[in-house]
Amino acid sequence: MFSRSSVERHRRHLQVSGGPVKKRLLTSLRMALRNAVANAAATAETSVASERAGEMAMSTVTTPDGTRIYYKDWGPRDAQAIVFHHGWPLSADDWDNQMLYFLRKGYRVIAHDRRGHGRSTQSATGHDMDTYAVDVATLTDALELRGAYHVGHSTGGGEVARYVARAKTGRVAKAVLVSAVPPGMVKSEWNPNGVPIEVFDGLRSTLAANRAQFYIDFPTGPFYGFNRAGAKPIQGLIDNWWRQGMMGSASAHYECIKAFSETDFREDLKAIKVPVLVAHGTDDQIVPYTASAPLSMKLLKHGTLKTYEGFPHGMLSTNPDTLNPDLLEFFKS
Protein backbone atom coordinates (compact mmCIF):
# COMPACT_ATOMS: atom_id res chain seq x y z
CA MET A 1 0.00 0.00 0.00
CA PHE A 2 1.27 3.51 -0.84
CA SER A 3 1.25 6.09 1.93
CA ARG A 4 0.63 9.77 1.35
CA SER A 5 4.22 10.54 2.45
CA SER A 6 5.71 8.16 -0.15
CA VAL A 7 3.57 9.71 -2.89
CA GLU A 8 4.75 13.16 -1.82
CA ARG A 9 8.41 12.08 -1.97
CA HIS A 10 7.94 10.73 -5.49
CA ARG A 11 6.11 13.92 -6.49
CA ARG A 12 9.00 16.13 -5.37
CA HIS A 13 11.50 13.89 -7.16
CA LEU A 14 9.55 14.02 -10.39
CA GLN A 15 9.26 17.78 -10.23
CA VAL A 16 13.05 17.90 -10.43
CA SER A 17 13.29 15.24 -13.15
CA GLY A 18 10.49 16.78 -15.33
CA GLY A 19 9.27 15.33 -18.66
CA PRO A 20 6.59 12.86 -19.78
CA VAL A 21 7.87 10.17 -17.44
CA LYS A 22 6.98 12.38 -14.50
CA LYS A 23 3.37 12.72 -15.67
CA ARG A 24 2.93 8.99 -16.26
CA LEU A 25 4.38 8.06 -12.85
CA LEU A 26 2.40 10.73 -11.07
CA THR A 27 -0.81 9.44 -12.66
CA SER A 28 0.04 5.86 -11.64
CA LEU A 29 0.85 6.88 -8.08
CA ARG A 30 -2.36 8.87 -7.72
CA MET A 31 -4.39 5.91 -8.98
CA ALA A 32 -2.59 3.62 -6.54
CA LEU A 33 -3.36 5.99 -3.68
CA ARG A 34 -7.05 6.19 -4.64
CA ASN A 35 -7.23 2.37 -4.84
CA ALA A 36 -5.57 2.03 -1.44
CA VAL A 37 -8.06 4.42 0.17
CA ALA A 38 -10.98 2.66 -1.54
CA ASN A 39 -9.73 -0.77 -0.37
CA ALA A 40 -9.37 0.50 3.21
CA ALA A 41 -12.93 1.85 3.16
CA ALA A 42 -14.25 -1.42 1.73
CA THR A 43 -12.46 -3.39 4.44
CA ALA A 44 -13.97 -1.22 7.18
CA GLU A 45 -17.42 -1.56 5.60
CA THR A 46 -17.08 -5.34 5.49
CA SER A 47 -16.00 -5.40 9.15
CA VAL A 48 -19.07 -3.39 10.23
CA ALA A 49 -21.34 -5.62 8.12
CA SER A 50 -19.82 -8.71 9.74
CA GLU A 51 -20.40 -7.28 13.20
CA ARG A 52 -24.01 -6.50 12.31
CA ALA A 53 -24.46 -9.99 10.90
CA GLY A 54 -23.05 -11.40 14.13
CA GLU A 55 -25.57 -9.41 16.17
CA MET A 56 -28.45 -10.59 14.03
CA ALA A 57 -27.24 -14.18 14.33
CA MET A 58 -28.18 -14.12 18.02
CA SER A 59 -31.65 -15.48 18.72
CA THR A 60 -33.85 -12.53 19.63
CA VAL A 61 -37.47 -11.44 19.49
CA THR A 62 -38.59 -7.83 19.33
CA THR A 63 -41.27 -6.64 21.75
CA PRO A 64 -44.03 -4.11 20.95
CA ASP A 65 -41.85 -1.25 22.26
CA GLY A 66 -38.85 -2.28 20.15
CA THR A 67 -36.86 -4.04 22.86
CA ARG A 68 -34.87 -7.04 21.67
CA ILE A 69 -35.11 -10.04 24.00
CA TYR A 70 -32.29 -12.57 23.72
CA TYR A 71 -33.12 -16.24 24.22
CA LYS A 72 -31.66 -19.75 24.03
CA ASP A 73 -33.70 -22.55 22.50
CA TRP A 74 -32.21 -26.05 22.67
CA GLY A 75 -33.64 -29.46 21.83
CA PRO A 76 -36.24 -30.96 19.48
CA ARG A 77 -38.89 -28.46 18.40
CA ASP A 78 -41.65 -31.03 18.87
CA ALA A 79 -40.55 -31.98 22.41
CA GLN A 80 -42.22 -30.81 25.62
CA ALA A 81 -41.00 -27.24 26.17
CA ILE A 82 -39.71 -25.84 29.46
CA VAL A 83 -39.23 -22.08 29.71
CA PHE A 84 -36.86 -20.83 32.42
CA HIS A 85 -37.10 -17.34 33.96
CA HIS A 86 -33.99 -16.07 35.75
CA GLY A 87 -33.59 -14.05 38.93
CA TRP A 88 -32.21 -10.57 39.51
CA PRO A 89 -29.74 -9.36 38.22
CA LEU A 90 -28.73 -12.44 36.26
CA SER A 91 -29.39 -13.90 32.81
CA ALA A 92 -30.44 -17.05 30.97
CA ASP A 93 -26.96 -18.42 31.74
CA ASP A 94 -28.01 -18.98 35.34
CA TRP A 95 -30.10 -21.92 34.08
CA ASP A 96 -27.24 -23.76 32.32
CA ASN A 97 -27.31 -26.66 34.78
CA GLN A 98 -31.06 -27.20 34.50
CA MET A 99 -31.11 -26.69 30.74
CA LEU A 100 -28.44 -29.34 30.17
CA TYR A 101 -30.15 -31.72 32.61
CA PHE A 102 -33.57 -31.50 30.96
CA LEU A 103 -32.11 -31.42 27.45
CA ARG A 104 -30.59 -34.83 28.15
CA LYS A 105 -34.03 -35.99 29.35
CA GLY A 106 -35.49 -35.20 25.94
CA TYR A 107 -37.09 -31.83 26.67
CA ARG A 108 -36.95 -28.64 24.63
CA VAL A 109 -35.38 -26.03 26.93
CA ILE A 110 -35.72 -22.26 26.51
CA ALA A 111 -34.37 -19.38 28.59
CA HIS A 112 -34.32 -15.65 27.91
CA ASP A 113 -32.52 -12.59 29.24
CA ARG A 114 -35.02 -10.19 30.80
CA ARG A 115 -34.99 -6.68 29.28
CA GLY A 116 -32.04 -4.72 30.64
CA HIS A 117 -30.33 -7.97 31.67
CA GLY A 118 -27.68 -10.06 29.93
CA ARG A 119 -27.71 -9.71 26.14
CA SER A 120 -31.15 -8.14 25.81
CA THR A 121 -31.61 -4.46 25.00
CA GLN A 122 -30.63 -2.11 27.82
CA SER A 123 -33.98 -0.39 27.58
CA ALA A 124 -34.66 2.81 29.49
CA THR A 125 -38.26 1.85 30.33
CA GLY A 126 -40.44 -1.15 31.01
CA HIS A 127 -38.80 -2.44 34.18
CA ASP A 128 -42.01 -3.63 35.80
CA MET A 129 -43.82 -6.95 36.03
CA ASP A 130 -46.53 -6.03 33.55
CA THR A 131 -43.96 -5.33 30.84
CA TYR A 132 -41.89 -8.37 31.75
CA ALA A 133 -45.00 -10.50 31.23
CA VAL A 134 -45.65 -8.88 27.84
CA ASP A 135 -42.06 -9.63 26.85
CA VAL A 136 -42.55 -13.30 27.76
CA ALA A 137 -45.80 -13.40 25.80
CA THR A 138 -43.96 -11.99 22.77
CA LEU A 139 -41.39 -14.77 23.07
CA THR A 140 -43.89 -17.61 23.54
CA ASP A 141 -46.01 -16.32 20.64
CA ALA A 142 -42.98 -16.11 18.37
CA LEU A 143 -41.97 -19.68 19.25
CA GLU A 144 -45.59 -20.84 19.03
CA LEU A 145 -45.34 -22.67 22.35
CA ARG A 146 -48.30 -24.75 23.48
CA GLY A 147 -48.66 -26.46 26.84
CA ALA A 148 -45.26 -25.27 28.04
CA TYR A 149 -43.88 -25.60 31.55
CA HIS A 150 -42.65 -22.31 33.04
CA VAL A 151 -40.04 -22.29 35.80
CA GLY A 152 -39.11 -19.08 37.61
CA HIS A 153 -36.47 -18.41 40.22
CA SER A 154 -36.73 -15.44 42.60
CA THR A 155 -37.69 -12.41 40.46
CA GLY A 156 -38.31 -14.88 37.65
CA GLY A 157 -40.95 -16.48 39.85
CA GLY A 158 -42.81 -13.20 39.94
CA GLU A 159 -42.52 -12.95 36.18
CA VAL A 160 -43.94 -16.47 35.85
CA ALA A 161 -46.87 -15.69 38.14
CA ARG A 162 -47.78 -12.53 36.23
CA TYR A 163 -47.37 -14.18 32.80
CA VAL A 164 -49.17 -17.46 33.59
CA ALA A 165 -52.11 -15.61 35.14
CA ARG A 166 -52.59 -13.70 31.88
CA ALA A 167 -51.39 -16.23 29.30
CA LYS A 168 -53.45 -17.19 26.28
CA THR A 169 -55.47 -20.37 26.67
CA GLY A 170 -53.34 -23.44 26.00
CA ARG A 171 -49.97 -21.72 26.25
CA VAL A 172 -49.13 -23.05 29.74
CA ALA A 173 -49.56 -26.53 31.23
CA LYS A 174 -47.61 -26.23 34.49
CA ALA A 175 -45.58 -23.70 36.47
CA VAL A 176 -42.84 -23.79 39.10
CA LEU A 177 -41.95 -21.04 41.57
CA VAL A 178 -38.50 -21.56 43.10
CA SER A 179 -37.36 -19.29 45.94
CA ALA A 180 -39.84 -16.91 44.34
CA VAL A 181 -40.88 -13.40 45.34
CA PRO A 182 -44.69 -13.93 45.28
CA PRO A 183 -47.04 -13.16 46.83
CA GLY A 184 -45.12 -9.97 47.79
CA MET A 185 -41.75 -9.32 49.38
CA VAL A 186 -42.05 -5.97 51.12
CA LYS A 187 -43.42 -5.79 54.66
CA SER A 188 -47.05 -4.72 54.66
CA GLU A 189 -50.30 -5.03 56.59
CA TRP A 190 -51.15 -8.27 54.84
CA ASN A 191 -47.56 -9.57 55.00
CA PRO A 192 -46.15 -8.52 58.40
CA ASN A 193 -43.26 -10.98 58.01
CA GLY A 194 -42.15 -9.32 54.80
CA VAL A 195 -38.85 -7.51 54.29
CA PRO A 196 -38.76 -3.86 55.48
CA ILE A 197 -38.58 -1.30 52.65
CA GLU A 198 -35.35 0.03 54.17
CA VAL A 199 -33.60 -3.17 53.07
CA PHE A 200 -34.49 -2.52 49.44
CA ASP A 201 -33.46 1.12 49.78
CA GLY A 202 -30.11 -0.22 50.94
CA LEU A 203 -29.84 -2.46 47.89
CA ARG A 204 -30.44 0.53 45.64
CA SER A 205 -27.91 2.76 47.35
CA THR A 206 -25.26 0.03 47.41
CA LEU A 207 -25.79 -0.73 43.74
CA ALA A 208 -25.52 2.95 42.82
CA ALA A 209 -22.37 3.44 44.91
CA ASN A 210 -20.32 0.49 43.60
CA ARG A 211 -22.19 -2.10 41.57
CA ALA A 212 -19.08 -4.14 40.74
CA GLN A 213 -18.19 -4.69 44.41
CA PHE A 214 -21.83 -5.25 45.38
CA TYR A 215 -22.04 -8.02 42.78
CA ILE A 216 -19.12 -9.75 44.48
CA ASP A 217 -20.38 -9.34 48.04
CA PHE A 218 -23.96 -10.49 47.38
CA PRO A 219 -23.20 -13.99 46.03
CA THR A 220 -20.26 -14.37 48.42
CA GLY A 221 -22.66 -13.78 51.29
CA PRO A 222 -26.41 -14.39 51.58
CA PHE A 223 -27.48 -15.39 48.06
CA TYR A 224 -25.93 -18.87 48.20
CA GLY A 225 -25.68 -19.03 51.99
CA PHE A 226 -21.89 -18.91 51.87
CA ASN A 227 -21.96 -16.60 54.89
CA ARG A 228 -23.25 -19.41 57.12
CA ALA A 229 -20.94 -21.17 59.56
CA GLY A 230 -19.36 -24.21 57.95
CA ALA A 231 -20.42 -23.24 54.41
CA LYS A 232 -17.86 -23.80 51.68
CA PRO A 233 -17.99 -21.02 49.08
CA ILE A 234 -17.90 -22.14 45.45
CA GLN A 235 -15.77 -19.57 43.67
CA GLY A 236 -17.10 -20.49 40.24
CA LEU A 237 -20.66 -19.68 41.29
CA ILE A 238 -19.57 -16.35 42.75
CA ASP A 239 -17.60 -15.39 39.64
CA ASN A 240 -20.40 -16.45 37.33
CA TRP A 241 -22.94 -14.44 39.32
CA TRP A 242 -20.71 -11.35 39.01
CA ARG A 243 -20.17 -11.96 35.28
CA GLN A 244 -23.88 -12.22 34.56
CA GLY A 245 -24.74 -9.21 36.69
CA MET A 246 -22.17 -6.94 35.08
CA MET A 247 -23.45 -7.85 31.59
CA GLY A 248 -26.70 -6.02 32.26
CA SER A 249 -27.75 -2.41 32.66
CA ALA A 250 -27.15 -0.73 36.00
CA SER A 251 -30.26 1.37 35.44
CA ALA A 252 -32.44 -1.67 34.66
CA HIS A 253 -31.12 -3.50 37.73
CA TYR A 254 -31.81 -0.46 39.90
CA GLU A 255 -35.40 -0.17 38.64
CA CYS A 256 -35.99 -3.91 38.89
CA ILE A 257 -35.50 -3.80 42.67
CA LYS A 258 -38.83 -1.99 42.96
CA ALA A 259 -40.46 -4.48 40.57
CA PHE A 260 -39.46 -7.58 42.51
CA SER A 261 -39.89 -6.14 45.99
CA GLU A 262 -43.07 -4.05 45.80
CA THR A 263 -45.27 -5.88 43.29
CA ASP A 264 -48.38 -7.52 44.76
CA PHE A 265 -48.91 -10.94 43.13
CA ARG A 266 -51.90 -12.08 45.16
CA GLU A 267 -54.44 -11.68 42.35
CA ASP A 268 -52.08 -13.39 39.89
CA LEU A 269 -51.77 -16.45 42.10
CA LYS A 270 -55.55 -16.63 42.52
CA ALA A 271 -56.03 -16.48 38.73
CA ILE A 272 -53.65 -19.32 37.86
CA LYS A 273 -55.54 -22.44 36.84
CA VAL A 274 -52.69 -24.86 36.07
CA PRO A 275 -50.75 -26.98 38.59
CA VAL A 276 -47.98 -25.04 40.34
CA LEU A 277 -45.01 -26.38 42.29
CA VAL A 278 -43.78 -24.00 45.00
CA ALA A 279 -40.21 -24.89 46.03
CA HIS A 280 -38.45 -22.94 48.77
CA GLY A 281 -35.56 -23.35 51.20
CA THR A 282 -36.03 -22.59 54.88
CA ASP A 283 -32.68 -20.76 55.06
CA ASP A 284 -33.49 -18.35 52.24
CA GLN A 285 -31.94 -15.04 53.37
CA ILE A 286 -33.21 -13.10 50.34
CA VAL A 287 -36.88 -14.13 50.12
CA PRO A 288 -37.78 -15.35 53.65
CA TYR A 289 -39.64 -18.64 53.60
CA THR A 290 -42.40 -17.64 56.04
CA ALA A 291 -43.22 -14.51 54.04
CA SER A 292 -43.51 -16.27 50.69
CA ALA A 293 -44.06 -19.96 49.96
CA PRO A 294 -46.75 -20.79 52.58
CA LEU A 295 -48.65 -17.61 51.69
CA SER A 296 -48.55 -18.41 47.97
CA MET A 297 -49.92 -21.85 48.69
CA LYS A 298 -53.02 -20.35 50.31
CA LEU A 299 -53.81 -18.44 47.12
CA LEU A 300 -53.12 -21.09 44.46
CA LYS A 301 -55.93 -23.34 43.24
CA HIS A 302 -53.63 -26.26 42.40
CA GLY A 303 -50.45 -25.72 44.38
CA THR A 304 -47.91 -28.21 45.70
CA LEU A 305 -45.40 -27.10 48.32
CA LYS A 306 -41.90 -28.57 48.46
CA THR A 307 -39.87 -27.33 51.43
CA TYR A 308 -36.09 -27.77 51.59
CA GLU A 309 -34.72 -27.66 55.10
CA GLY A 310 -31.65 -25.42 55.39
CA PHE A 311 -31.37 -24.68 51.66
CA PRO A 312 -30.41 -21.14 50.56
CA HIS A 313 -31.96 -18.74 48.06
CA GLY A 314 -29.67 -19.94 45.27
CA MET A 315 -30.41 -23.62 45.90
CA LEU A 316 -30.85 -24.40 42.20
CA SER A 317 -27.11 -23.82 41.85
CA THR A 318 -25.90 -25.14 45.20
CA ASN A 319 -28.15 -28.22 45.26
CA PRO A 320 -29.08 -29.12 41.67
CA ASP A 321 -28.75 -32.85 42.37
CA THR A 322 -31.75 -32.51 44.69
CA LEU A 323 -33.77 -29.87 42.84
CA ASN A 324 -33.52 -31.19 39.29
CA PRO A 325 -35.01 -34.65 39.99
CA ASP A 326 -37.80 -33.02 42.00
CA LEU A 327 -38.65 -30.75 39.07
CA LEU A 328 -38.61 -33.76 36.76
CA GLU A 329 -40.95 -35.67 39.06
CA PHE A 330 -43.40 -32.74 39.06
CA PHE A 331 -43.29 -32.48 35.28
CA LYS A 332 -44.00 -36.19 34.91
CA SER A 333 -46.77 -36.28 37.53
- Does the active-site annotation cover 13? no
Is pLDDT above 90 for 6?
no
Task: Please give the pLDDT value at position 35.
Answer: 52
Least confident of 34-48, 160-174, 200-214: 34-48
User: pLDDT for 304-331, tens place per residue?
Assistant: 999 999 999 999 999 999 999 999 999 9
The model carries a pTM of 0.83
Residue in 154, 261, 296, 317 annotated catalytic? 154
Task: Please give the pLDDT value at position 50.
Answer: 30
Mean pLDDT of 12-35: 48
Task: Please give the pLDDT value at position 58.
Answer: 73
User: pLDDT for 46-103, tens place per residue?
Assistant: 332 333 333 334 799 999 999 999 999 999 999 999 999 999 999 999 999 999 999 9
Is pLDDT above 80 for 261?
yes
- Does the active-site annotation cover 127? no
Residue in 93, 113, 135, 284 annotated catalytic? 284
Is pLDDT above 80 for 32?
no
- Does the active-site annotation cover 5? no
Give the residue from 257, 221, 215, 260 showing the smallest Cα distance to 240: 215
